[in-house]
Structure 1
């Protein structure tokens, strides 16, 4: 059918645990009641069955949003309607190791190598019958976007990337023992000025109960090279991000940290809309 319509992320796990004693003020905001969760479906034609949320007209230009390790699809709750209202088809899968995304067989390697992450993005758009897409992500999601573009250059119409840098990940035993505590430290280190409240964290933390959460982090590569891609790339960086990235080409978003889609949703959505409208679509 014709459709017009590099991270790391567990990046700052290294930096995150190095900064594990970050101030607790990030958790001092008033506690709200449980927040609504995005409705999801399941899809997958390969080794993994992906949980995903979709929005916008089915014939709209496809946009895939990819979250970082230790975050989840709710990082995009404010971005999704901004894109759907512009007529884009928005697809937001849980990354492997998160939420309702599941491996189909116990024997399948729980890999978090860039090539595997790129193949996941391909599986999602193939399963949903989209021949091409713009892909946007932060941290591990940014790595996956670049890996997808390297894997299928003609099918990636553009990338919006935030803090796509891999770092070594220490304290794996601590993750096995207390994954929520690990994620709290990660969030605080990655966005030291962001005062998120318990309801925001609790909504995402449900996704960390995935049985492969720890295994995926364990396989995170150390200092993997950022894939070179032919697709257009627009890099963004929050001025208050705790990720140690040195990218002079990045568009600076003042006041935001690493979880830029949730901290500065309008700027993130505007960058994606710019990429979609400037892309050279074949279909």
Structure 2
């Protein structure tokens, strides 16, 4: 594991493969961590990629540089962290891959700074940039039920639940979001250790409250949030990987988000795969990253 000061963070990350390989940044989601990419990175590192796998803010050994920095989990903060990491590591351009929170960061950078992105793999969601202005519009009842944890985190009871039972909540989400994936206890515990980060609860709670407009964001990211509110298109080559068995965000039969992509775009629905695509089917995820390299 390595560490680098980047923006408001000291980011912990894994770095594998040749230093002069194709820069490839792999970003995890909630409630997972960088170990979701252990097998993906191993495959890519052996085929000409330099793989950077960071722990997001609030996870693992990543820490804020100042106690005065707001522990924001808003989408703009995640995108800013990714750009700061690229700048600190002197990575001019990279292939980005991510899912859940990490997919959001990757989509943001791909949309707003396409000159820095060689290609994008977005898993678990298609156009993963939040429409916060439209968040008050209810979804279908079954989707609202799947989002129970988000509303739970809007309450003081939910915050206490996350503080006291973070591992139990995460395990339940792993099970229900990936019903076809039979992970072992060691794999879960390896990632669950990252949730002991002192900022984990603050960042997670803010993330799920901010995306519905329940709490304000960090003023430092207001200009970036204003750009994201316009739902900017993604012009870089993109491959979307969606698990057919995703228990939190099942893929619709009709691709209603293709309109957000103006460059080469491929959407694939993967049978017997849930939400944690890179850890469930690392060969498929790594293959998509290689395919992007060829497209570029």
Q: What is the TM-score when the length of structure 2 is the normalising length?
A: 0.77
- The answer to whether the 8 Å contact 1:118/1:149 transfers is no
Aligned to 2:118: 157
Q: Which residue of 2 aligns with 1:188?
A: 175
Q: Which residue of 1 aligns with 2:94?
A: 133
The CA deviation at 1:228 is: 2.6
Aligned length: 240
Cα deviation for residue 110 of structure 1 reads 1.2
| Cα pair 2:251 2:269 within 8 Å, conserved | no
Of 267, 271, 276, the match for 2:288: 271
- Aligned partner of residue 42 in structure 2, secondary structure: helix
Match of 2:108 among 127, 134, 147: 147
For the pair 1:60 / 2:60, whether they are aligned, the reply is: no
* 2:211 corresponds to which of 208, 214, 222: 222
2:248 maps to 1:243: yes
How many Å separate the matches in 1 of 2:233 and 2:269? 22
Counterparts of 2:16 and 2:243, CA distance in 1: 26
The 1:103/1:227 distance shift into structure 2, 3 A limit, reads: farther
Deviation, structure 1 residue 178:
1.1
| Kept in 2: contact 1:163–1:243 (CA 8 A) | no
- Equivalent position to 1:202, from 180, 186, 189: 189
Matched, 1:259 2:220: no
Deviation string 1:153-182 (CA, Å, 9 cap, x unpaired) is: 210121101123566712232112211111
Of 150, 155, 173 in structure 2, the residue corresponding to residue 169 of structure 1 is 150
Q: Indicate the SS of the match to 1:64.
A: strand
For residues 20-31 of structure 1, what are the structure 2 equivalents within 5 Å? Answer: none
Alignment of 1:46-57 (within 5 A): 46-57=7-18
Could you tell me which runs of 5 or more consecutive residues in structure 1 were left unpaired when the two chains were aligned.
Answer: 1-39
Q: TM-score, normalised by structure 1?
A: 0.80
Aligned residues of 1:190 and 1:243 also touching (Cα < 8 A): yes
Q: What is the distance in 2 between the residues matched to 1:147 and 1:118? A: 6
Stretches of structure 2 lacking an aligned partner (at least 5 in a row) = 131-146, 154-158, 213-227, 256-266
Kindly indicate whether the alpha-carbon contact (under 8 Å) linking 1:133 and 1:158 is maintained by their aligned counterparts in 2: yes
- Residues 83, 188 of structure 1: CA spacing in aligned structure 2 closer, same or farther, 3 A cutoff? same
Higher helix share: 2
More displaced stretch, 81-90 vs 238-247: 238-247
Higher relative contact order (CA 8 A, sep 6+): 1
What's the secondary structure of 2:151's corresponding residue? coil
Matched with 1:90 is: 51
Question: In structure 2, what is the Cα distance between the partners aligned to 1:227 and 1:275?
Answer: 21
